[in-house]
């Protein structure tokens, strides 16, 4: 495990998150994506001794690292290893009904990406894995070796927005008939064969992203968690979501829009018959993106977008 002086993960949009999320210094907050604990530490520093933070991560390594980093905040901090689709569970366990703020900083941490053994990166050779929760049964190995050609093509196209999806899926299925595809670099070599043209981005980037999203059910979990999260907020409480991918940002944007929509009855009706009651109001009509200074210092902040909504 890394020591505290090494960078596990640099939190993105740090000030923007804290400025918008903390509306009550004595309040209760949930950080759904603890990672290296950067945002969690920011929240803990911002709240009073009366305040409380509950942090969640599904990755044992992240939990162990951050437990050491944040041990001095024990009196107002608790941490749970769980999928954040279950963000209501630690609240019920702690007898808490509603909270003042919820943060989701979606995706993988730099530590997960750079850990050669986790199989997230197309740069290192390792067994195909990509599970954020090492107890999950589905891994990248299963997706690559057991999904049908149609299933592979669909996820690579939809989650990776990869225009060579069909060709990549076909090549994977052709190769795995001879021998199982065991490692990341074997998969990279197959993907490269689908690319005849030169590309400024690594040819495996989109396919790896798609497989990772499938293995960890990333879009499905995000939707469930935002809906649950909004219902767990006190009036005036806020939900902040950081995404790194256009598909995720679109999902957040559309979901926030739906949850913020007001009565759509035809004008002139004496009473509302549609029953649509907005649950939230949008704090960010357009997403907040990093300033140039942040982009200079943290390459991984590129493409990050922060959207915030407030419970009505
Ligand atoms: C981008 S990092 C968060 C970094 C963190 N904000 C910080 O300041 O270090 C995302 C973290 O969320 C965790 N994660 C992603 N999806 C999750 C999920 N569905 N449930 C629980 N944890 C999840 C990952 O394991 C990873 O540690």
Q: For every one of its 312 residues, what pLDDT tens digit does the chain have, with 9 covering 90 and above?
A: 444 534 789 999 999 999 999 999 999 999 999 999 999 999 999 999 999 999 999 999 999 999 999 999 999 999 999 999 999 999 999 999 999 999 999 999 999 998 989 999 999 999 999 999 999 999 999 999 999 999 999 999 999 999 999 999 999 999 999 999 999 999 999 999 999 878 888 999 999 999 999 999 999 999 999 999 999 999 999 999 999 999 999 999 999 999 999 888 998 898 889 988 999 999 999 999 999 999 999 999 999 999 999 999
Give the Å distance between the CA of 179 and the centre of ligand 1: 34
Give the pairing type, strands 305-311 and 280-282.
antiparallel
Q: Best of 2, 33, 36 to mutate for ligand 1, by most ligand atoms within 8 A of CB?
A: 33
Residue with tokens 């990549």: 168
Beta partners for residue 138, in sequence order:
none
- Each domain of the chain, given as residue ranges in start order, spans 14-111+219-311, 137-215
The length of the chain is 312
How far apart, in whole angstroms, are the C-alpha atoms of residue 30 and residue 155? 31
52 bridge partner residues:
28
Q: Does 37 contact ligand 1 (Cβ within 6 A)?
A: yes
**Residue with CA closest to ligand 1 atom 4:** 35
Q: Which residues pair with 243 in a beta bridge?
A: 305
Task: For ligand 1, say whether the CB of 244 is within 6 Å of any of its atoms.
Answer: no
Provide the whole-model pTM: 0.95
Our answer on whether the CB atom of 59 is closer than 6 Å to any ligand 1 atom is yes
Strand partners, 99: 233
From 35, 66, 223, the mutation candidate for ligand 1 (largest count of ligand atoms within 8 A of CB) is: 35
Q: Say if 14-111+219-311 and 137-215 have the same CATH topology.
A: no
The domain made up of 137-215 has a fold known as DNA polymerase; domain 1 (1.10.150)
Dist CA 66 CA 71 (whole Å)? 8
Q: What DSSP line would sit under 70-121, residue for residue?
A: TGGGGGGEEEEES-GGGTHHHHHHTT---EEEEEEE-S--HHHHH-TTS---
Token code pair at residue 137: 């049964």
CA triplet 301, 303, 309: central angle to 5 degrees?
A: 95
Domain 14-111+219-311 has CATH 3.20.20.70: no
Query: How many angstroms does the Cα of residue 58 sit away from the middle of ligand 1?
Result: 7
Strand partners, 100: none
Tell me if 140 sits within 8 A of 122, measured CB to CB. Answer: no
The pLDDT value given to residue 200: 83
Ligand 1 centre from 33 Cα, in Å?
Answer: 4
Burial class (CB in 10 A: 0-12, 13-18, 19+), 39: buried
Measured in Å, residue 197 CA sits from the centre of ligand 1 at 35
Gap between the terminal Cα atoms of the chain: 43
Per-residue pLDDT at 189? 97
Cα 64 to averaged position of ligand 1 atoms, centre (Å): 13
> What is the structure's pLDDT at 181?
98
Report the pLDDT value the prediction gives residue 281, as an integer from 0 to 100.
97
Residue 241: helix, strand or coil by DSSP? strand
Q: Nearest-CA neighbor of 185 among 139, 131, 269, 126? A: 126
Ligand 1 center from residue 268 Cα (angstroms): 48
For ligand 1, whether the C-beta of 109 sits within 6 Å is yes
Assess whether the C-beta atom of 27 lies below 6 angstroms from ligand 1. no
Task: State if residue 18 touches ligand 1 by the CB under 6 angstroms criterion.
Answer: no
Nearest atom of ligand 1 to the alpha carbon of 218: 19
Distance 234 CA to ligand 1 centre (A): 24
Helix 218-232, helix 246-260: angle, nearest 10: 30
Q: Give the pLDDT confidence score for residue 5 in this predicted structure.
A: 39
């Amino acid at each position: 495990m890394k020591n505290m002086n090494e960078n596990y993960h640099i939190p993105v949009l740090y000030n923007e998150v804290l400025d918008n999320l903390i509306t009550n210094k004595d309040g209760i907050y949930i950080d759904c994506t603890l990672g290296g604990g950067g945002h969690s530490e920011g929240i803990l520093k911002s709240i009073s001794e009366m305040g409380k933070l509950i942090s969640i991560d599904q990755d044992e390594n992240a939990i162990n690292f951050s437990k050491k980093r944040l041990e001095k905040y024990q009196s107002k901090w608790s941490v749970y290893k769980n999928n954040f689709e279950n963000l209501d569970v630690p609240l019920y366990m702690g007898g808490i009904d509603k909270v003042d703020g919820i943060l989701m900083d979606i995706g993988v941490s730099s530590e997960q990406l750079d850990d050669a053994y986790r199989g997230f990166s197309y740069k290192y050779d390792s067994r195909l894995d990509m599970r954020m929760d090492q107890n999950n049964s589905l891994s990248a190995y299963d997706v690559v070796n057991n999904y049908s050609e149609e299933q592979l093509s669909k996820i690579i196209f939809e989650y990776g927005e990869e225009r060579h999806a069909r060709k990549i899926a076909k090549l994977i299925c052709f190769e795995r008939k001879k021998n199982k595809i065991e490692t990341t670099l074997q998969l990279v070599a197959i993907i490269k064969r689908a690319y005849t043209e030169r590309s400024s981005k690594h040819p495996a980037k989109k396919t790896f992203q798609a497989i990772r999203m499938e293995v960890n059910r990333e879009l499905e979990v995000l939707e469930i968690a935002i809906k649950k999260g909004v219902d767990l907020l006190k009036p005036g409480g806020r939900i902040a979501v950081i995404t790194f991918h256009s598909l995720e940002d679109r999902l957040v944007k559309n979901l926030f829009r739906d949850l913020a929509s007001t009565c759509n009855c035809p004008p002139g009706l004496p009473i509302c018959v549609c029953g649509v009651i907005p649950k939230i109001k949008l704090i960010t009509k357009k997403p907040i993106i990093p300033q140039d200074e942040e982009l200079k210092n943290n390459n991984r902040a590129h493409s990050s977008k922060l959207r915030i909504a407030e419970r009505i």
